[in-house]
Structure 1
Amino acid sequence: MAGASTALVALAALCWGLSGGIAAMLMGSGWEPVVVAFCRGAIGFLFACAWLLLRPGGSGLGSAGLWFWSVLAGFGVAGNFAFYSISIAQGSVAVAVTLMYSAPAIVYLVSFALRLESLTPVKLVAIALVMLGIILLTQVYDTSIDGITLLGIAAGLLAGLCYAVFIFGFKYAAPHGSPQAVLTIAFAVVAISLIWPAGADRSIAVLGAPELPLFILLGVLGAGLSFALYVTGLKRTAPTVASIVAMVEPVTAALFGVVVIGESLTAPQGLGIALILFTVTVLSLHSPAKRP
C-alpha cells in the first residue's frame, strides 16, 4: 500500500508540473495571474464538491479539527496558486517552480535567524548551495537580463512558503475526515479568497473565452485530480518521502516550459535548478519529519 500511495503523490506532482505550463500559456494569451489562480481553485472546488456528493460517507464534517486544518490548507493553496501564477508571469515556469521548491531552505534560514533551530554544518552548506542556486537561476548578477523581475523572485519564494503551509494543513487534516471533505473546505477557502482580487466580471468572462478548455484542463489537472491524488496518497506516505517524490513537479514544469512553450534556459540557470533540487532533496532526507 505504501508504494501505491507514493505513486499517487508522484502522479499529483506530475499534474502540478503540467498545470504550471498550462497557466503560462493562459497568461501568455493575456489572462491576469490572479484570474488564472482563481479559476484553477474554483474548478478544484467544483471537482471536490462532486466527489463529496458522490461519496459522502465518513466525511468528518462534524470535526472541528477537520475544519481548522482544512481552512489553513485552503489559505496555503490560495497563496500558492496566486504567487506561483505571478512568478510565472514575471519570469518563466522553470524559474517560478524552482524558486517555489527552494522554500525549505528559506524556512531554515529564517528559523536560524530567529534562533528557533540550531545551525549544523550540513544545513549551513545546504542553505549556501540553495542561495547559490537561486543566484544562478535568477541571474541577478547580470544587469542586462530583463526576463526575471524582483517581483517574480519574491512571488516564487512566497509561493514556496504557502506550499509548505498547505502541505502541513493537508497532512494534519487527513486523519479527521475524508479526502473529498478536506478538499471541499480547502477549495471553498481558495475561491472565496481569490474572487475579489480576480474580479467577478473578469472571472465570468472566462466562460465565453476561447481558452475555456485550457482553463478546465488547468483546474482538473492543477486542482481537482492532482489534489485528490495527493491527499489520498499522503495518508500513507511519510512527509519526507512525499517531499522528495514531489520533485517530479519542478522537473515536469521546467521541461514543459522549454519543450512546449519554447522558454529558454542558460547553462548557469540549468546548474542553478540542479543545485536547488539536489540540495532540497538532501535537506529533506537529513531532517525527516515525524508523522502526526
Structure 2
Amino acid sequence: MSMAWWLAGPPLIIAAAAFWGLSGGLSGLLIEHGWAPLLVAFCRGLIGGALILGWWLLAPGRYRRPDWRMLAASAIAGVGVAGNLGFYCISIAHTSVAVAATLLYTAPLYVYLAALVMRTERLRWPRLLALALIILGVVLLTRVFQVDPAKLSWLGILAGLGGGLSYAVFIFGFGQATRYGRPPSVLAIAFAVFVVVLLPLIDIGRAGAALGSADVGLFVALGLAGGGLSFPLYVAGLRDTSPVLASVVAMMEPVTAALFGVGVLGNTLAPLQLVGMALIIGIVTLLSVQRARSQQA
C-alpha cells in the first residue's frame, strides 16, 4: 500500500471517528457536571462551527460563487448533523446511553438500504454479513441487552432511530456537497444550519454560562474534537470513499468512546465487550484493506 492511501479515504474517516468517540467521552463528563445534554450538543456544534468558519476565512477561493447544489446538499447535511446529535441526546434522556448508542449505530444499515434504492450499490451478501457483524459488535460493546426494559420509552426508542437516520442523512448530504464545492464552504454552511436548527431548543442564558464556567476548557476540547477536527477529516475522507463504506468505517467511534472510558474514567470492559470491540475493529480493518487493494489493482 502506498503512503498516499493513509492520507485519504478510510484512514481519514477512522481518524474522524476517533475524535467523535473522544467527544462522546467529553460530552459524558459535561453531562455528569450538570449540563443539559442538548446544551452540550449545541455548544459542541457552535464551537466546532466557529473553528470551521475560521478555516473557511483562511481558505483560498472562499468568495467564489457557490453552486446551488452544494448549498442545498450542505444544508441537508447540517440538518442531519443537528438531528443526529439532538435525537441522540433525547434518546439518552428517555432510555439510556447504551440504548441510544445502539440505535444510533444502526446507521450503516440505513445507508446501505438507501444506496440499494438509489442503485449506487448492489446487493452483496458479504457486505450484509459485515453490517450484521458490526451491529453485533456494537450490541456487545454497549451491553444493551442488560438494560432494564422498564427504563425504556417509545419516545426514547424513536429518538434513537431518528439519530441513526439523521446520521445517514448527513453522510449522503456531505457526500453530495463535496462533489460540487470545497470542504471549507460545505462545512461552514452545514454548521451554520446546525446552529439555526438547535438554537430555538436550548436555553441561551445557560449556553452563555457554559462558555464562562469552569468547564469552558472541556467545552472547547469538545468543540475541537467533535467538530473542528473530526468533520473536516470526515468530509475529506468522503471524497474518496463511498457512503456505505464510510458509514461502516465510522463505527470505530464507539470503540474510541469505550477506550476513553477505560483510560480516563476508570471503566472496565467485560469479556463480551472486548469481543464486540474486536469484531468492530476486525470488520473495519478488513473492509478498508480490501478497498485499498481494489484501488491498486
Question: Structures share a fold, TM > 0.5?
Answer: yes
The CA deviation string for residues 248-285 of structure 1, in whole angstroms up to 9 with x for no partner, is 21210122234423456555566566667878999999
Q: Which residue of 1 aligns with 2:76?
A: 72
1:247 corresponds, among 246, 251, 257, to: 251
Q: Which AA in structure 1 matches 2:214? A: P
| Aligned length, in residue pairs | 283
State the 1:46 CA deviation.
0.9
State the 1:30 CA deviation.
0.8
Any gaps of 5 or more consecutive residues in structure 1? 287-292
Contact kept, 8 Å, 1:9 with 1:229, in 2: the verdict is yes
Q: Which residue of 2 aligns with 1:220?
A: 224
> What CA distance in whole angstroms lies between the structure 1 residues aligned with 2:277 and 2:152?
15
Any gaps of 5 or more consecutive residues in structure 2? 291-297
State the 1:26 CA deviation.
0.5
1:54 corresponds, among 32, 52, 58, to: 58
1:177 corresponds, among 178, 181, 187, to: 181
> What CA distance in whole angstroms lies between the structure 2 residues aligned with 1:103 and 1:151?
18
Q: Which residue of 1 aligns with 2:293?
A: none
**Cα distance change, pair 102–272 in 1 and its aligned pair in 2 (3 A):** farther
Residue 37 in 1 paired to residue 41 in 2?
A: yes
Contact kept, 8 Å, 2:131 with 2:248, in 1: the verdict is no
2:31 corresponds, among 19, 27, 36, to: 27
> What CA distance in whole angstroms lies between the structure 2 residues aligned with 1:59 and 1:232?
20
Q: Which residue of 2 aligns with 1:289?
A: none
Q: Which residue of 2 aligns with 1:14?
A: 18
State the 1:236 CA deviation.
2.4
State the 1:105 CA deviation.
2.8
Residue 91 in 1 paired to residue 100 in 2?
A: no
> What CA distance in whole angstroms lies between the structure 2 residues aligned with 1:105 and 1:220?
29
> What CA distance in whole angstroms lies between the structure 2 residues aligned with 1:226 and 1:65?
24
Partner SS for 2:8? helix
**Cα distance change, pair 61–45 in 1 and its aligned pair in 2 (3 A):** farther
* TM-score, with length taken from structure 2: 0.77
> What CA distance in whole angstroms lies between the structure 2 residues aligned with 1:152 and 1:57?
44
**Cα distance change, pair 184–61 in 1 and its aligned pair in 2 (3 A):** farther
**Cα distance change, pair 42–122 in 1 and its aligned pair in 2 (3 A):** same
State the 1:241 CA deviation.
4.0
State the 1:239 CA deviation.
3.3
* TM-score, with length taken from structure 1: 0.78
RMSD (Å), alpha carbons: 3.8
Residue 5 in 1 paired to residue 34 in 2?
A: no
Could you tell which deviates more after superposition, 202-211 or 20-29?
202-211
State the 1:48 CA deviation.
1.6
**Cα distance change, pair 145–52 in 1 and its aligned pair in 2 (3 A):** same
Q: Which residue of 1 aligns with 2:106?
A: 102
State the 1:199 CA deviation.
1.9
Contact kept, 8 Å, 1:20 with 1:253, in 2: the verdict is yes
> What CA distance in whole angstroms lies between the structure 2 residues aligned with 1:72 and 1:255?
32
Query: For residues 130-209 of structure 1, what are the structure 2 equivalents within 5 Å?
Result: 144=148, 152-209=156-213
Partner SS for 1:209? coil
Partner SS for 1:31? coil
Percent identity between matched residues is 49
Could you tell which deviates more after superposition, 101-110 or 119-128?
119-128
Could you tell which deviates more after superposition, 261-270 or 206-215?
261-270
> What CA distance in whole angstroms lies between the structure 2 residues aligned with 1:282 and 1:51?
34
Query: For residues 208-287 of structure 1, what are the structure 2 equivalents within 5 Å?
Result: 208-263=212-267, 266-267=270-271
